[in-house]
Amino acid sequence: MSENAISNSLFHLDGKPSIQRAFPIALQHLLAMIVGNTLPALVLANTLKGSEFAISSNEAIYVIQAGMFIAAIATLLQLYPVYKVGAKLPVVMGVSFAYIPILIEIGLNYGYGAVFGAEIMGGIVAVLVGLFIGRIRKYFPPIVSGTVVLTIGLSLYPVAINYMAGGANSPMYGTKWNWIVALITLVVVLVCNMYGKGLVKLAAILVGIIAGYIVSIIINSTVAPGFMDFSNVASASWFTYPHLMPFKPEFKFSAIIVMSIMYIVNSVQAVGDISSTTIGGLDREPTDKEISGGIICNGVSSIIGGLIGALPTATYSQNVGIVSMTKVVARKVLAITAVMILVAGFIPKFGGIMMSIPQCVIGGATISVFAQITMNGMKLITSEELSIRNSTIVGLGIALGMGITQVPASTEVLKAAYPTLHMIFTSSPVIIATIVVFFLNIFLPKKTLAEERAEREEMEK
């Protein structure tokens, strides 16, 4: 390509296309990530509502806004690296669903301060992983990372179902109106995903939430007054900015351990997203420098996030899909997306509107996301041979991860005797599954399907 063609190209990293050409793609990226970036903060705030660690509505709105700030900062760092921080690739960052089970457990036990303290330490771990990713990557093959991703998806299902019922703290929990709205939201998401095209397909979750929101307004104004609460919209101000330590970080050992494990797992997932970005958008494998910079960026952004009250970040797979589909890799396009995210971060009314969304709408919209996370884990697992060895690793990891945390009697005994061990080993199915599959993959002898078949044939002689 000539220098002039590169300068105006959508399909070159350093391309600087006109705003008219770049904006539609930038908007696609915004619509694909905006809901996912705000929902973890909503889920955590609503789950802690009524507990001793509940926060005010204004504080919850701030956490949503802080998530927008950190998503913008992290994305810009990925696009335009500073020293070793950033991949210099078209990667969108945002607050991650994967951390929700851990965030809920830490929040319920210790509060928001411990969440942000653990996030800061987890960010440091991610920086270290980024520096040494070449040496540890071999310990997280698809059979390991896939099992972890699958367990994350499975562990999120109870969260989504509770939300579809209206949220455990709602006085209307389990009523028919919650289920009706949740199912309408889910159906709209599925229809947009399966039959929609262009922006409608990419923004399926957003369209579903809008549809559920409209139905909720109708129900609230006709058959079930009080179904919605608009007080947060009215009370939210029009402007805010990031505050340093709005929640004083608390460093609880058990919370730090579980969060650090999640950051290691998430770093391995980032390798997959960065690889998918370069393969899909640039027709090449990523360099070690790009992978390292991308993971370090996630660590640094999480450290900053913990200091300003934003939840943990990760690379966004849905935006990787847009890059692979459109082949648009010009960093300027995603920079426009980041600027739009940043602008939204300054407007608390946006957070207020998000707070007014009934929990049943959130449940109906997110259960499909959690299902997709589960299926992504299955895809990773089946990308390797399902030998007896690999099947054993996957089966035991999921069985112990999901099973142990479902036995209240044993976990309560452990909590009473060893509260730190309780937090580490039973805070989430993901932690146990990660530990089990990690060590099984190291210690179980590696055998292919062909080798296992040869063993059986030898026995028959």
Rounded Cα distance, 30 and 340, in Å: 8
Residues 320 and 391 in one domain: no
Pick the residue with more confidence: 230 or 400?
400
* Listed residues 376, 399, 426: the one ending a domain: 376
- Beta-bridged to residue 315, according to DSSP, are 93
Residues 372 and 389 in one domain: no
* Listed residues 376, 403, 436: the one ending a domain: 376
* Listed residues 376, 395, 422: the one ending a domain: 376
Residues 331 and 415 in one domain: no
pLDDT (mean) for 8-21: 83
Residues 339 and 404 in one domain: no
The answer to whether 40 touches 100, Cβ cutoff 8 Å, is yes
Q: Say whether pTM exceeds 0.85.
A: no
How many domains is the chain partitioned into structurally? 2
The pLDDT of residue 249 is 93
Residues 313 and 391 in one domain: no
pLDDT (mean) for 239-253: 90
Residues 222 and 287 in one domain: yes
Please say whether the dihedral angle defined by the alpha carbons of residues 355, 97, 201 and 212, taken in this order, is positive or negative: negative
Pick the residue with more confidence: 418 or 229?
229
Query: Average pLDDT, whole number, for the chain?
Result: 85
Residues 267 and 401 in one domain: no
The first and second tokens of residue 429, run together, are 């199915």
The pLDDT of residue 298 is 95
Residues 174 and 285 in one domain: yes
Rounded Cα distance, 351 and 38, in Å: 8
Q: Does the pLDDT of residue 4 top 60, yes or no? A: no
Would 99 be classed as within a structural domain?
yes
Residues 273 and 337 in one domain: yes
Which residue range forms the structural domain that includes residue 442? Answer: 385-461
The pLDDT of residue 355 is 75
The pLDDT of residue 47 is 86
Pick the residue with more confidence: 437 or 173?
437
pLDDT (mean) for 17-27: 84
Lowest mean pLDDT among 74-78, 187-191, 223-227, 255-259: 223-227
pLDDT (mean) for 177-192: 91
Would 1 be classed as within a structural domain?
no
Lowest mean pLDDT among 22-26, 210-214, 259-263: 22-26
Residues 206 and 87 in one domain: yes
Q: Does the pLDDT of residue 107 top 60, yes or no? A: yes
Pick the residue with more confidence: 127 or 3?
127
Q: Does the pLDDT of residue 435 top 70, yes or no? A: yes
